[in-house]
Amino acid sequence: MNDSELISVLSRRGIRPTQQRIAVYKYLLTHPEHPSADTIYRALVEEYPVFSRTTIYNSLGALIEAGLVRQVNICADEQRFDATVTDHGHFFCKECGKVYDFGFDSPAMVSRLCPRGFIKEQGDVFFTGICKHCYSF
Ligand SMILES: [Zn+2]
Ligand SMILES: [Zn+2]
C-alpha cells in the first residue's frame, strides 16, 4: 500500500490520517513479526525524530479502535501488535521472541472451537515453543 492508499484506509475507518498513524500502520503492515510498541518506536524515531513513545502508544490506540490493528497478548513481559485482524493463530518462539502467524485451515474449524451459542468477535489460538529457525540439531 502506498501512502495515499493508507490515507484512504484510515479515513474510511473514521480516523484522521496523521503522519504518526500512517507511519505506525505502515510499519506493522511491513513487519509481520508482531513488534512491540518499543520496537516500533525505536524503528520509527530514526526517520521521525519528533515521535515519542507516547506518540506511538496513542497511534496504536487509535488504530486498534478503528479495527485496523489488534493487540497480541502472547508474551508475558510485553504487548505485541498485529496489522492482520482476520482470524488466525500465533506461535511464540521462546528462543528468538518472534511471534509467527498461522492460519486456520477452515472457517468451519473456528466455528467448531467456539462454544455453542457464544458470539465470537475475534479468533486466536496461541502456541509457544521453538521456531524452525531456532531449532537445530
Ligand atoms: Zn525462534
Ligand atoms: Zn498475527
Q: What is the tens place of the pLDDT at every residue in 38-84?
A: 999 999 999 999 999 999 999 999 999 999 999 998 877 789 999 99
Ligand nearest to the CA of 128: 1
Look at strands 99-102 and 89-93 and give their pairing. antiparallel
Given the candidates 3.30.930.10, 3.40.640.10, 3.20.20.100, 1.10.10.10, the CATH classification of the domain at 3-71 is 1.10.10.10
Residue 15 CA to ligand 2 center (angstroms) comes to 22
Count of CB atoms situated within 10 Å of the CB of 12: 11
Give the ligand with the smallest distance to the CA of 81: 2
Any idea which ligand is nearest the CA of 122?
2
CATH architecture type of domain 86-129 = 2-Layer Sandwich (3.30)
Residue 137 binned pLDDT confidence (cut-offs 50, 70, 90) = low
Residues in Cβ contact with 13 at an 8 Å cutoff, skipping those fewer than 6 apart = 66, 67, 68
pTM of the model as a whole: 0.86
C-alpha of residue 121 to centroid of ligand 2, in Å: 15
